[in-house]
Amino acid sequence: MGVPPDGAISAAAERLLRAEREGVPAGPVRDLLGASDIDAGYAVQNRIIEHKIQRGSRAVGRKIGLTSESVQRQFGVYQPDFGVLLDDMVLADRTDIALSRFSQPRVEAEIAFVLGADLTAEATVADVVRATDFVLPAIEIVDSRIADWDIRISDTVADNASSGAVVLGASPKRLSELDLATLGMTLEHHGEPVSTGAGAACLGSPVNAVSWLAREVARRGRPLRAGEVILAGAWGPMVPVTAPGSYLARFEGIGEVRASFIAESKEATPV
């Protein structure tokens, strides 16, 4: 499917940037792009990321979305998508995060890969294992600049894969010590489980998800590089954040990480 004219790409990017700037979710952008045009979505995403980098942000990694089969069926696509992590999106464990920073936040528990080597368009699972320096527990804060989460695949891809921020834990583990597919996760809110799952939810294993990402972004001309942080996809259902409070993700054999939301506009500590 061909990418829409540049005017449509610019208009979609401006709609999403304005929604973020003003803190008021906008209507979907599929009226400009088409509901299923993934390439058009990435063209808008690239335009938004380039705009932010020109204004001082720095790209530090990627995130993978749509790793769940049920969510893929919901969107009518049968592959994951991805977004870009910027430096001001990466937050330290157990710091206060202002709810006002987000439009419609939800949280997901997942694992972050920190790469020690580049990955190419031919990256296999073995290459991912070899290239990974260590993994960290993480909570992704998913967000949408589109009102009521009324999204199709082109909407979420354009909106940087519905990215908000990520809280990284501080307990690095080597992949050689872990079988991620078999490990379990519990996400707690006020001490009560609100989401559970396992590494197998990410395309069978988070390592598979990163291998897919490496090939896909290299094909699109932006391969994964040493030092990047890669969010490999949720281990369980996402949970809406509707009020101040704390969410604790516990990963079997890996460690835990906490995201604490507050009502005040106090800045969280970037990593």
pLDDT of res. 71? 73
Which alpha helices (H) appear in the chain, and where do they start and end? 6-22, 30-33, 38-54, 69-75, 125-131, 153-158, 206-219
Residue 72's pLDDT is 74
- Mean pLDDT for each consecutive 10-residue tract of the chain (271 residues)? 81 98 96 94 98 98 89 75 98 94 95 98 96 98 96 95 97 93 96 95 95 96 98 94 97 97 68 58
Report the pLDDT value the prediction gives residue 3, as an integer from 0 to 100.
65
**Three-class SS state of 55:** coil
- Domains of the chain with bracketed CATH: 58-262 (3.90.850.10)
pLDDT at residue 70, as a whole number: 67
Supply the pTM of this predicted model: 0.93
Q: Which two tokens stand for residue 169?
A: 């834990």
